[in-house]
Chain A
Amino acid sequence: MSKFKKKKKGMPAVNTAALPDIVFMLLFFFMVTTVMRETELKIKTPKLPTADQVKKLEKKSLVSYIYVGKSKDGTAGDKIQLNDRISNVKDIKSFIFAERATHPEAEIPYLTTSIKADSESNVGTITDIKIELRDVNALKINYSTLQGSAIDNMKR
């Protein structure tokens, strides 16, 4: 009788042998897409304004960034950061020339300057930057924003 007694079946364990493969796949995905922030911000991280009429910046290598925001130690006024240090408006020209030097001649007309400015900063500072950019003929600019309704910028 005991010959025919059915073996008691437990729930079979889920085979986890493929788990490392799945995790590795995810790992490689994130490794490939990760961009380590190349510049450390010396100013307070700008709170970008929101807008909905936005375009994507296509080629990252053609974009140079200008950060505008408040300084970390709380001194008044807008601070401009180029590369990794807080700079003066007058330094923008040499910054643009340095950026151009790292690109081949043919790419220069496509170079874009992205202005990442805090929504609390003054238009005057932005205008000063724009005048400097115009003087060196770096005419393509992009006001960096977040996706959202522009009307939210007005609410405080």
Chain B
Amino acid sequence: MARRETPEINAGSMADIAFLLLIFFLVTTTMDTDIGISRKLPEKQDPNIVPPVLKEKNVFEVLVNRRDEILVEGETYMQIADLRKATIDFIDNGGGKNEDGTECTWCEGKKDPASSDHPKKAIISLQSDRGTSYGTYIAVQNELVAAYTDLRNRYANKKYGRNFEDIANEQQAIIKKDIYPQIISEAEPTK
């Protein structure tokens, strides 16, 4: 008697089924790249605390009005492309001494006595309007952060031969605290 073989299941369309599923997942996948500018909000202030008195030359004032125009130091209208350079010049000026009387030996700025004394004393003040567009606001924030990034990279490259991102955490902490601390203060927007 002839043995009957069990017929094999035709698996030829398996690939089609798999393709169908594959295409479904391909379409529904959102490779969510969640990136953004991270910031820390200031803690709620005690209203009784008297704010410290700052020398005006140590404050770099950036104003953004409701027409998205940028005014720097109360006098110069500036394009966003020039903001980073101006910020670097201000932070890196090193025209005077720190509180403990040390000069900024790593600064390469003009040492202009009318500009900031020391990177540790240099404060960026950002004032926007309620009507400023969010895109402009982010662009300004980005350029201010970029100025610090550039300076930190320059210092890290000179001292350690690598970018700020690539050096050890302890070294990063030193730069963040003592070399180029990021001091960006945001004032409440004008109405």
Q: Interface 1/0s, chain A 138-153, versus B by CB < 8 A? A: 1111111111001101
Q: Are A150 and B22 in contact, CB atoms less than 8 angstroms apart?
A: no
**A10 within 8 Å of B (CB atoms):** no
Q: Are A153 and B41 in contact, CB atoms less than 8 angstroms apart?
A: no
**A23 within 8 Å of B (CB atoms):** yes
B:104-137 near A, CB below 8 Å: 128-137
Q: Are B34 and A60 in contact, CB atoms less than 8 angstroms apart?
A: yes
Q: Are A145 and B128 in contact, CB atoms less than 8 angstroms apart?
A: no
CA distance A12 to B38 in the complex (A): 59
Q: Are A23 and B22 in contact, CB atoms less than 8 angstroms apart?
A: yes
Q: Please choose the segment from B2-10, B13-21, B155-163, B170-178 that sits at the chain A interface, where 4 or more of its residues have CB less than 8 A away.
A: B13-21
**A41 within 8 Å of B (CB atoms):** no
Interface residues on A, range: 35 or more
Q: Among the listed B19, B25, B37, B41, which residue makes an inter-chain contact with A54, where contact means beta carbons less than 8 Å apart?
A: B37
Q: Are B130 and A127 in contact, CB atoms less than 8 angstroms apart?
A: yes
**B167 within 8 Å of A (CB atoms):** no
Residues of A within 8 A of B74 (CB): none
Residues of B within 8 A of A54 (CB): 35-37
Tell whether A123 pairs with B129 under 8 Å between CB atoms, given A35-B30, A37-B30. Answer: yes
**A134 within 8 Å of B (CB atoms):** yes
**A110 within 8 Å of B (CB atoms):** no
**A137 within 8 Å of B (CB atoms):** yes
Instruction: Report the interface size for chain B: residues with CB under 8 A from the other chain.
Output: 50
Q: Are B41 and A119 in contact, CB atoms less than 8 angstroms apart?
A: no
**A27 within 8 Å of B (CB atoms):** yes
CA distance A56 to B26 in the complex (A): 23
**B48 within 8 Å of A (CB atoms):** no
**A19 within 8 Å of B (CB atoms):** yes
Q: Are B35 and A57 in contact, CB atoms less than 8 angstroms apart?
A: yes
Residues of B within 8 A of A123 (CB): 64, 128-134, 137, 189
Q: Are B146 and A53 in contact, CB atoms less than 8 angstroms apart?
A: yes
Q: Interface 1/0s, chain A 86-125, versus B by CB < 8 A? A: 0000000000000000000000000010100111111110
Question: How far in angstroms is the closest Cβ of chain A from B5?
Answer: 20
Q: Chain A residue with minimal CB distance to B18?
A: A23
Q: Are A154 and B129 in contact, CB atoms less than 8 angstroms apart?
A: no
Residues of A within 8 A of B39 (CB): 141-143
Tell whether A63 pairs with B34 under 8 Å between CB atoms, given A122-B134, A154-B68. Answer: yes
Q: Are B132 and A120 in contact, CB atoms less than 8 angstroms apart?
A: no
What are the 10 closest A-B residue pairs judged by CB atoms, nearest first? A124-B130, A119-B135, A153-B135, A30-B25, A150-B142, A23-B18, A51-B142, A57-B34, A150-B139, A144-B36
Q: List 5 A-B contacts (CB under 8 A).
A: A142-B34, A143-B39, A143-B138, A150-B138, A153-B138
Given contacts A20-B14, A154-B139, 8 further A-B contacts (CB under 8 A): A35-B30, A49-B138, A123-B64, A124-B131, A138-B41, A142-B38, A143-B37, A150-B139
